[in-house]
Structure 1
Amino acid sequence: MTAYRGLTWDHPRGYKALEAAAAQARDLSLTWDRHSLEGFEERPIGEQCALYDLVVLDHPHVGEAVAADCLRPLEELFSAEEIAGWRDKAMGRSMVSYHYAGQHWALPQDAATQVMAWRRDRLDAPPVLWDEVVRLSETGVVAMSLSGPHAALTFQSICAAHGGTFRNRPEAREAWDLLSKLATKSPHALRSLNPIGILEHMSRNDDVAVCPLVYGYVNYAPGGPLSFADAPRVTADGPVGSILGGTGIGVSRWCKVTPQLLDHLSWLMSDAAQRGFIPEHEGQPALKSAWRDPAVNARWGGFYADTYATLDGASLRPRHDGAIAFQTAASQRIRMGLDAGEPADPVLGDLQALFERHRPASAEI
């Protein structure tokens, strides 16, 4: 029997369901190692794929993986009908996010995006519009997620809510003005926290009532003081502004694929696993059927129904080779601009230059 090794991330949402599924699999030996949430960026994906048969990744790494030729395209492993079925059943653009250079490079086993986290004991209802968030921020109860890559992701989400991207100057100026107002009022002590840290803080302390854009973790929804809601909009009928997250399972180019392994991966994407096994083991499924399921929502505090529209309309991040380096540099520039109180145009000009610097000529975005 072939023994497989996989690499996932060290949070219950990232490993519990995968480890439990591997433990009960017949005719398959699969163990999962874990690394930190930030571990995605600590080692090039080509090196990870040289060490592991299966690698959990997020979609901005796809261009790098294609350039390194370190993943097997799903088209080599599964039928066109299976792939089309997963694309149709997946939440929002979760499956599409792993389609690059004409092929799919990972199975979207987990779906997430930036949504709103709020405390039920501090507010009667979550804010719906960004203007409401700004008014709340005047009381010091609004925290912004700006650590690591999240400065760029939060800014891109606000740009999307204004109907553009950071490369569309009029919309980006409006987004920068909004982010600047909110960052000034955001508790500085939380600036270094990643999404898990922010949600942990909000779960244990009542000083923050709202984080308007934070990657949703269903694990914090049931039982505690936190609820989740759709991301704010600029107008009631305006676009949702959120940047897709989630993770997919990629198969290393050097993996010795067997029918048993493919059956296991297919089962993880099945309706039964996505609506039953994965939520039961603290995972966050990727299929629409799970997000709509009344029983799943009842068990997990309505998390899925309350954030469905945001995930369904979430935008993709750049995925070209160099996208991760751009995301890192852009976040640093955004934090510098916010700390210095800079106006929009110098920051936006630098972001455009960073984007072009880290994007290979003629590369797909």
Structure 2
Amino acid sequence: MKKEKIQLKGITWGHTRGFVPMVATAQRFEELHPEVEIVWKKRTLQEFADKSVTDLAKEYDLMVIDHPWTGHAAAKGMLAPFDDFLPADFLADQRVNSVGQSYASYNFEGKQWALPTDAATPVAASRPDLLQEMGLALPRTFDDLLALAKKGRVGFSLLPIDVLMSFYGFCCSLGEEPCQQDDKVISDAVGTQVLQLLKTLADELDPAFYEKNPFKVFEEMTQRDQIVYCPFAYGYSNYAREGYARKVLHFHDLVLLNNQPLVSTLGGAGLAVSSQGKHIDVAMDYARFVASPEIQETLYTENGGQPGHLRAWKSDKVNAYTADYFKNTLPAFERAYLRPRYDGHLHFQDHAGDVVVNYLKHGGSEKIVLDELNRMYRESLVGEKAHG
């Protein structure tokens, strides 16, 4: 009698970067382990950020997750910690070869809840062909950026979540990390300055960018010839590859503000294993395969992935077919801000961006905006203490 295959179900997000490398690695893993079948499903980027890991872990063995879910996952015990299943030397290699704080972003209360298979942070993108045609240089400073924006040639995501990430990054750029105190997100002085800087820039953008996430911005830049520069958006190396889009984008470190490069807010995605599955050991073996330096540098990246292992980022071969995406943006990763991951912060993250977007659209008092952010932040900390 034919033995029934072990089936693992996985969920990721529906962009080439999120879906295709998981299917490719699953296919190869199945060829090496004929007794295993891995089926990947996809969801939208918004669902990826929104749906609770607790809910997903009941349904899926493997999950590509956003690191702000780490605290929630640790609190609920719905993910299997990698430390309990994988060799210490493998995890040590993952930690040492982390792109920026990607590995640390999935470590909470001393346990590793996901492997950093995908690394991303906001970086700059340009259309070098159009800049050359127009006789324009890449913006070097915030003032250069503002001047280019006034020509109607700049775009970036003004969705609430992306605006909040930009707000965090600008706070860090002005010398204060947000969410370090129990009663306020940021000092009034820095918060006011950040809001004003963001509004100065947002006022020059086409309002259509209030509806576009980062990869929709890159689609706009590659499918049409109006936007020549995006100052900060979670990078997608796919658009730096010949043949992926109508035109190739080049990616860069961020512009200078007060003579220092802007700081961005770390993103990326990690591969997590449900603690509720029947075949945790098999799921762990597959996760180790995907995160291994060899697969990250080859199969994963060749199939549209944006690896989380430093070896792939420094690889001449990988950089050769991505217009040096990885080498050029690595400095931005190395200083990226790791946002809060405590259980209650997700509620704040889901709603705070709306307050900032409302200000960018309609103006008003920066003090009222900051007071509202502080109120929501304090609420999120009360939720955290209740869970703790």
TM-score range normalised by the length of the shorter chain: over 0.9
Match of residue 186, structure 2, among 132, 148, 168 = 168
Q: Is the 8 A contact 1:222 1:300 kept in 2?
A: yes
The offset of 1:324, in angstroms, is 2.3
Match of residue 370, structure 2, among 335, 348, 357 = 348
The offset of 1:226, in angstroms, is 1.7
Cα distance, 1:274–1:361 mapped onto 2, change above 3 Å: closer
Q: Is the 8 A contact 2:49 2:66 kept in 1?
A: no
Structure 1 gap ranges (5+): none
Q: Which moved more, 1:47-56 or 1:73-82?
A: 73-82
Q: Counterparts of 1:68-83 in structure 2 under 5 Å? A: 68-83=76-91
Q: Is the 8 A contact 1:144 1:182 kept in 2?
A: no
Query: Is the aligned partner of 1:295 residue 2:317?
Result: yes
Specify the structure having the higher radius of gyration (Cα): 2
Match of residue 129, structure 1, among 127, 134, 141 = 141
| Structure 2 CA distance for aligned equivalents of residues 172 and 148 of structure 1 | 17
Instruction: Specify the alignment match of 1:102 in structure 2.
Output: 110
Q: Is the 8 A contact 2:155 2:205 kept in 1?
A: yes
Q: Is the 8 A contact 2:160 2:357 kept in 1?
A: no
The offset of 1:258, in angstroms, is 5.4
| Structure 1 CA distance for aligned equivalents of residues 107 and 281 of structure 2 | 23
| Structure 2 CA distance for aligned equivalents of residues 344 and 362 of structure 1 | 29
| Structure 2 CA distance for aligned equivalents of residues 269 and 168 of structure 1 | 36
Q: Counterparts of 1:85-100 in structure 2 under 5 Å? A: 85-100=93-108
Cα distance, 1:363–1:159 mapped onto 2, change above 3 Å: farther
Query: Is the aligned partner of 1:180 residue 2:202?
Result: no
% identical aligned pairs: 31
The offset of 1:42, in angstroms, is 4.2
Q: Which moved more, 1:61-70 or 1:166-175?
A: 166-175
| Structure 2 CA distance for aligned equivalents of residues 38 and 186 of structure 1 | 23
Instruction: Specify the alignment match of 2:209 in structure 1.
Output: 190
The offset of 1:200, in angstroms, is 0.4
Cα distance, 1:279–1:165 mapped onto 2, change above 3 Å: same
Q: Which moved more, 1:331-340 or 1:77-86?
A: 77-86
The offset of 1:272, in angstroms, is 1.0
Cα distance, 1:333–1:254 mapped onto 2, change above 3 Å: same
Instruction: Specify the alignment match of 1:216 in structure 2.
Output: 235
SS across alignment from 2:305: coil
How does the TM-score come out when normalised to structure 2? 0.89
SS across alignment from 2:370: helix
Query: Is the aligned partner of 1:329 residue 2:351?
Result: yes
| Structure 1 CA distance for aligned equivalents of residues 376 and 314 of structure 2 | 40
Q: Which moved more, 1:85-94 or 1:323-332?
A: 323-332
Q: Is the 8 A contact 2:62 2:283 kept in 1?
A: no
Instruction: Specify the alignment match of 2:18 in structure 1.
Output: 14
Cα distance, 1:187–1:30 mapped onto 2, change above 3 Å: same
Q: Counterparts of 1:136-147 in structure 2 under 5 Å? A: 136-147=148-159
Q: Counterparts of 1:29-44 in structure 2 under 5 Å? A: 29-44=37-52
Q: Which moved more, 1:51-60 or 1:68-77?
A: 68-77
| Structure 2 CA distance for aligned equivalents of residues 361 and 198 of structure 1 | 35
The alignment's C-alpha RMSD in Å is: 1.9
| Structure 2 CA distance for aligned equivalents of residues 270 and 14 of structure 1 | 17
SS across alignment from 2:351: helix
Cα distance, 1:269–1:323 mapped onto 2, change above 3 Å: same
Q: Which moved more, 1:34-43 or 1:56-65?
A: 34-43
Query: Is the aligned partner of 1:314 residue 2:307?
Result: no
How does the TM-score come out when normalised to structure 1? 0.94
The offset of 1:361, in angstroms, is 4.7
Instruction: Specify the alignment match of 2:28 in structure 1.
Output: 24
Give the letter aligned to residue 138 of structure 2. Answer: P
CA distances 1:68-104 after superposition (whole Å, capped 9, x unpaired)? 2211111111233322221111100000000112211
Give the letter aligned to residue 19 of structure 1. Answer: V
SS across alignment from 2:275: coil
SS across alignment from 1:325: helix
| Structure 2 CA distance for aligned equivalents of residues 305 and 125 of structure 1 | 20
| Structure 1 CA distance for aligned equivalents of residues 14 and 89 of structure 2 | 33
Structure 2 gap ranges (5+): 179-184
